[in-house]
Structure 1
């Protein structure tokens, strides 16, 4: 018999309990009455708890829908806090009237804050994507290899040599890798228009819609062994599972909506109090906080010896962030603006998009043969950490204008390095690329037959 502390309903209640302090704050008075640190702490805990509830809701639903679709939904929901933060800044940029023309004279036009928010939206998006690969993919690979020393995991192949062990991924993710590569190629062209516009939205969101259509057309598979909250509800009747999943989705979504604005604003103020630019806080600290629930969920899966499921979720998360997150920024911005428009950004943010696309390009080259070694994971992690550390050093040691100029040069250099490394790996793995393209085409043809009969 499970102890009370380990009973799934107790665990579920504990996660829900993380959201209660923020609900009390919101219910009893305006959150602005709190100082920045308590606001960030309480709102951050609420977002953390809500993210667990969302993840469990998706795992519960996995029993009743195609697994690929369930994983895609899980990936979207797990990064819901990230979407919320980005949407907030894109909306404020639109309602403030930030356009390419207006931002060129923002210092005298009275909309400097809106232009600032537009740049923050891009900074948050690029930071989230780079964290997901630099810490997420690399860190989970290294954790999986480390954990396999003491626990059997069929996805880990032990090889002789330092960091030579390899994580084998599910070959069924070839469609995700194919679509992620297509989205990455598109992303390289986004900065050329000076902003994120309608064409970017159509192409990137369109890619994700096609991917979801393929996922939905798959068959409902037998769910593998679960533990904890999902296992408890998988054993309940469908009449219990479905309402439970819906309640978890709705409650968590509302709570994230209520908490995200104070959380993001509190981080900005904290950054200013610590002498850090808002860009640095919103690009790195906010995404690190909002991505942490997803990484915790993946660690949870790895601990259950479900390494492949964990990586599937991470790769699907990257795909939806690299398509929906970019594409919907222009939609939210246009809604705020009151007409179709292009979300503007400064040259510094263009460089951020290029390095993010380049990192994605190299990471796909690593995974295109459905493996990632300890050495490749260390390289991904090392490149990411060294770039962020170097940028932090520039901010601390140099005047703002000089630091930004050198930062752009550094970002371009890292982007070039990522691309060179990626091209070298792709050249070695030409056969793997052909297999991924062929699998994606086959999946697309099956989906077409599914929908047109």
Structure 2
């Protein structure tokens, strides 16, 4: 068992080594803007080498998070995993926010501010539109789905579903609060200190609550996590911290060349740069998270996989938005709200509307294949339609901004209909969250299965 587990860890680490050696021995080391031909590699070679290293780091992250569940509340381990897995997105978005502050008042600064918002909204919509829907469909239709306790098999077309852990109630309610606040963000003409205070404060409160949760040491693990959990506590903690730190570093130094390499490949194929930054770069930076979740699902840990996706959405929808104004102000040299144009106002509203609809799907603690397909179709159709308009393949009687508002309205109407239909489930999930918060504040253990 130990030899096999060590070999598995070594294989994952080996995937990261070529890129890390190249990164450590290249003259471009001091700069994060490596460029598409980093270390003398071609654009395609850069994408391949950095992409493989991200894959290896994603497995190391997943093993570290599973191992950590022996010593910390599972929700906290998943929250750490979620933050590290989407760290590349933070790095890319922070770069645009910094440029917006450095070149404030110029055309370059205005464009950078718009790109920061576009990259953020693209990442959030990809996480739900491709991540939530794709993982739900993968969970239901993969070969061993009938052996997964989280999969509910029903007769009828696309009626099979994935069961969501009721303990994720806290995350769903906090995500709903962040989503409702996001509808207000464009009204001030920029992301400001009030947005930062509410959204970052919301995430800090969430972390404080889950840290007071109970450790569940009896969760059964196999393979690498089981091997690492057999270590003594000091050695186990050191292993977890080491895996988190190393895999986080790999992702941080690989994702920008990977994302920019993909952008350049897309540009060579005739895809507009702005479209690449909103969609291709976030898709690249979200890849570690999606790989980790697919790994968990494949181990029939679908519940943990979905918890990670929901936690990722929560931290991106709070920390990512809230910290952009901090990065912008630091680069500006004084406090300032990160500005954006009308098009990005529409993008934020559409992202909030998609999130609103997705939350409505979750409040009954399951996602059917039919609902996953609806999420996927709405997301893909909007992206393809916008691309077709940009490429002048089709001509719409309305502007792109108005098209975003139309899609926003569709999401909101569908979401409201579901919330009304599932109002009893919404009430129970709010009551359950209240119980969780009360237990955390008082220090009392919440009865297992309460309010289920």
TM-score by length of structure 1 reads 0.90
Aligned to 1:23: 20
CA offsets 1:159-182 (integer angstroms, 9 cap, x no match): 221011222211111111110100
Aligned-pair CA distance for 1:358: 0.3
Give the 3 Å change call, closer, same or farther, for CA 259–115 of structure 1 in structure 2.
Answer: farther
Question: Which of 61, 78, 97 lines up with 2:85 in the alignment?
Answer: 78
Q: Does 1:53 align with 2:60?
A: yes
Q: Secondary structure at the match of 2:147?
A: coil
The answer as to whether partners of 1:194 and 1:344 remain within 8 angstroms in 2 is yes
- Counterpart in 1 of 2:193? 198
Q: Assess if the C-alpha contact under 8 Å between 1:55 and 1:77 holds in 2.
A: no
Give the alignment of 1:107-256 within 5 angstroms: 111-147=106-142, 151-256=146-251
Equivalent-residue separation in structure 2 for 1:333 and 1:52 (angstroms) = 33
Q: CA RMSD for the aligned pairs?
A: 2.3
- Which residue of the partner structure matches residue 407 of structure 1? 400
Question: For 2:321 and 2:206, how far apart are their aligned partners in 1?
Answer: 16
Deviation at 1:404, TM superposition (A): 12
Secondary structure of 1:272 counterpart: helix
From 420, 426, 434, give the equivalent of 1:427: 420
2:261 aligned with 1:266 = yes
Deviations 1:193-238 (A, max 9, x none): 1111111111001111111111001111124222232222011221
Unaligned runs of 5+ in 1: 103-110
| Partner residue in 1 for 2:70 | 63
Q: Residue 88 of structure 1 is aligned with which of 88, 95, 117? A: 95
Normalising by structure 2, we get a TM-score of 0.90
Question: 1:425 and 1:248, CA in 2 relative to 1: closer, same or farther beyond 3 A?
Answer: same
* Contact residue 267 and residue 282 of structure 1 kept, 8 A: no
Alignment correspondent of 1:337: 332
Deviation at residue 398 of structure 1 after TM alignment: 5.9
Q: Which residue of 286, 309, 320 maps to 1:291?
A: 286
The 3-state SS of whatever aligns with 1:45 is helix
Give the length in aligned residue pairs: 434
Structure 1 residue 40: Cα displacement? 3.1
Residues 12, 53 of structure 1: 8 Å contact kept: yes
The alpha-carbon distance between structure 1 residues 260 and 372, as it changes in their structure 2 partners (threshold 3 A), is: closer
Residue among 351, 369, 372 paired with 1:374: 369
Q: For 1:328-367, what aligned pairs fall within 5 Å after superposition?
A: 328-367=323-362
Report the secondary structure of 2:300's partner residue.
coil
- Aligned residues of 1:208 and 1:323 also touching (Cα < 8 A): yes
Q: Where does residue 314 of structure 2 map in the other structure?
A: 319
| Cα 1:64–1:168 shift into 2, 3 Å | same
* C-alpha distance in structure 1 between counterparts of 2:398 and 2:101, whole Å: 27
C-alpha distance in 1 between matches for 2:220 and 2:47: 37
- 1:443 deviates by 1.8
Show CA shifts across 1:290-323 (max 9, x none): 2222222212212222111111111111111111
What is the match of residue 385 of structure 1?
380
The residue number in structure 2 matching 1:439 is 432
SS at match of 1:18: helix
Q: Contact (CA 8 Å) 1:55, 1:78: kept in 2 or not?
A: no
Secondary structure, aligned partner of 1:28: coil
Deviating above 6 A after TM superposition, structure 1's stretches of 4 or more consecutive aligned residues are: 402-405
Q: Per the alignment, do residues 154 and 55 of structure 1 end up closer, same or farther by CA in structure 2, a change over 3 Å counting? A: closer
- 1:26-61 Cα offsets, whole Å, 9 max, x none, are 213324454433333333333333333233222222
| Further displaced range: 38-47 or 165-174 | 38-47
Moved more, 419-428 or 127-136: 127-136
1:403 Cα offset (Å): 8.5
- CA 1:158 to 1:271, structure 2 compared with 1: closer, same or farther past 3 Å? closer
Instruction: State the alpha-carbon separation in 2 of the partners of residues 416 and 13 from structure 1.
Output: 50
Give the stretch that moved more between structures: 326-335 or 175-184: 326-335
User: Once structures 1 and 2 are overlaid, which stretch shifts more, 283-292 or 420-429?
Assistant: 283-292
Q: Contact conserved, 2:58 with 2:292, CA < 8 A, in 1?
A: no
Checking the alignment, whether the CA contact within 8 Å between 1:51 and 1:77 is kept in structure 2 is: no
C-alpha separation between the residues in 2 aligned to 1:55 and 1:35? 30
2:360–2:418 CA contact under 8 A, matched in 1: yes
Bigger shift: residues 328-337 or 33-42: 33-42
Kindly indicate whether the alpha-carbon contact (under 8 Å) linking 2:160 and 2:369 is maintained by their aligned counterparts in 1: yes
Q: Which runs of 5+ in 2 are unaligned?
A: 29-33, 445-452
- Contact 2:140/2:161 (CA < 8 Å) preserved in 1? yes
Q: 1:39 aligns with which of 46, 54, 61?
A: 46
